[in-house]
Amino acid sequence: MAAVTKGDRFGKAGRRRYWTDTARDLLLYFIIFLFFVPVLWIVMTSIRPNVEINTRPPVWIPQRLDFDSYKILLGMPTPEGAFGLGGEIPVAEYARNSTVIAVLSTFFSLVLGIMAGYVFARWRFRGKNAIFLSMMLARAVPGVALSLPLFILFARAGLINTIPGMVIAYTALNIPFTAWLMDGFFRAIPEELAEAAVIDGCSRWGALIRVDLPLAMPGVAASGIFAFLTCWNEFQLATVITRTPASRTFPPGLYEFTGSFVSDWRGMTARVHRLVRLRLARHDGHVRDDAHSVGHLRRPCPAAVGARAGFRRHKRLTERG
């Protein structure tokens, strides 16, 4: 009979492993699998033959792999008789527009949201709570209700079907959430750190950039990810404001795979697959840029260095107490 080793009876943390832990892990794996099933189905639909897409009962495993939808999207030569609407759709322009609009909107939302959150967290002025509440209530208005007023306003301003118009709309859409999130992160940072930096010679802006902002960088990363996701996935406003491929983004472009009498499900799922891959790549680059910016912001200003040292001493004394 094989001997039971210590690694079989104990987990990595040295705690005895019970059957409830194994059951919990299996449940978590099952939940993750359920969330992954739609993504797997999208990928499988993009590479299965057309005859298997609408069959009943559904075909779970394709009989053969067919990459014609990807070839059509990329403009590659396809076999005679291959069906797909992707060749008539400017996928490259939609990808460029989505990237430019999402990056610019995220940048402006972070700049304005960080300043607004810092003001709400650090300053006391009359009407602060009313202004903050009105911003949150404005964010709660559904996008469908904003479509017609924004269309009329942008039509008079000449911003219909333009990338700047989309950037302005998405920036205004993301500022309230970014300000609310950064307000919570700035409130968690002791005010004494910025005050010590000001006493040591930093200006108010210097205290924000060199002391408070590096400590709130996790909030900046979270706000940037949420803002980028909102801009990348938004459909309603993009459908109303954009009319031509010059400014149209990915989500409204998916609707072009639906014709009068037929829908190109393979091309649509292939495009969704590329959209998800591009978004993951952008998120990875955004997080790396945030890490690089943290290192850049932490270099100068002896006052900021002293303030952070005081914060670490304060944290150690709090833990001891």
Residue with tokens 């014609």: 68
Does the pLDDT value for residue 248 go beyond 60?
yes
In 3D space, the residue among 234, 232, 252 whose CA is nearest the CA of residue 242 turns out to be: 252
Question: Does pLDDT of 240 surpass 80?
Answer: yes
In terms of Cα–Cα distance, which of 201, 262, 195 is closest to 53?
Answer: 262
Domain 89-320: assigned CATH number: 1.10.3720.10
- Residue 20 banded pLDDT, cuts 50, 70, 90: confident
Greatest mean pLDDT among 79-83, 95-99, 168-172:
168-172
Confidence of residue 265 (pLDDT cuts 50, 70, 90): low
Neighbours of 178 (CB within 10 A): 27
Q: In the predicted model, what is the mean pLDDT of residues 132-151?
A: 85
What single-letter DSSP state applies at residue 86? G
Task: Please count the CA atoms within 13 angstroms of the CA of 231 that sit on its side-chain side.
Answer: 35
Query: Measuring CA to CA, which residue among 221, 231, 230, 232 is closest to residue 292?
Result: 221
Per-residue pLDDT, averaged over 29-58, amounts to 81
Percent of the chain exceeding pLDDT 70 equals 68
User: Considering Cα of 29, then 30, then 31, then 33, what sign does the dihedral take?
Assistant: positive
Confidence of residue 261 (pLDDT cuts 50, 70, 90): very low
Q: Residue 296's pLDDT band (boundaries 50, 70, 90)?
A: very low
Which of 47-56, 100-109, 219-228, 283-292 bottoms out in mean pLDDT, i.e. has the lowest?
283-292
Measured between alpha carbons, how far is 276 from 94 in angstroms, rounded to an integer?
14
**pLDDT confidence tier of residue 302, bands split at 50, 70 and 90:** very low
Tokens of residue 218, six digits = 């996790």
- Of 85-99, 115-129, 217-231, 255-269, minimum mean pLDDT range: 255-269
In Å, how far from its chain's centre is CA 162?
Answer: 22
Statement: residue 37 has pLDDT above 60: yes
pLDDT of residue 22: 86
User: 183 by DSSP, 3-state: which?
Assistant: helix
Long-range contacts from 230-236, C-beta under 8 angstroms, 24+ separation: 230/170, 230/173, 230/174, 230/177, 231/101, 231/102, 231/105, 231/106, 231/170, 231/174, 232/98, 232/102, 232/275, 232/279, 232/282, 234/143, 234/170, 234/173, 236/143, 236/144, 236/147
pLDDT at 204 over 90: no
Q: Are 235 and 229 in contact (CB under 8 A)?
A: no
Nearest to 180 by CA among 227, 147, 231, 237: 227
The residue behind tokens 């270099």 is: 299
Q: Label residue 290 by pLDDT band (50, 70, 90).
A: very low
Average the pLDDT over 228-257 and give the result.
84
Confidence of residue 294 (pLDDT cuts 50, 70, 90): very low
Look-up: residue for tokens 């005859």?
51
Domain boundaries for CATH 1.10.3720.10 within the chain:
89-320
pLDDT greater at residue 46 or residue 240: 240
Task: Tell me the H-state helices in 47-65.
Answer: none
Calculate mean pLDDT across residues 167-175: 93
Which pLDDT does position 298 carry in this prediction? 41
DSSP string, 206-245: HHIIIIIHHHTHHHHHHHHHHHHHHHHH--HHHHHH--ST
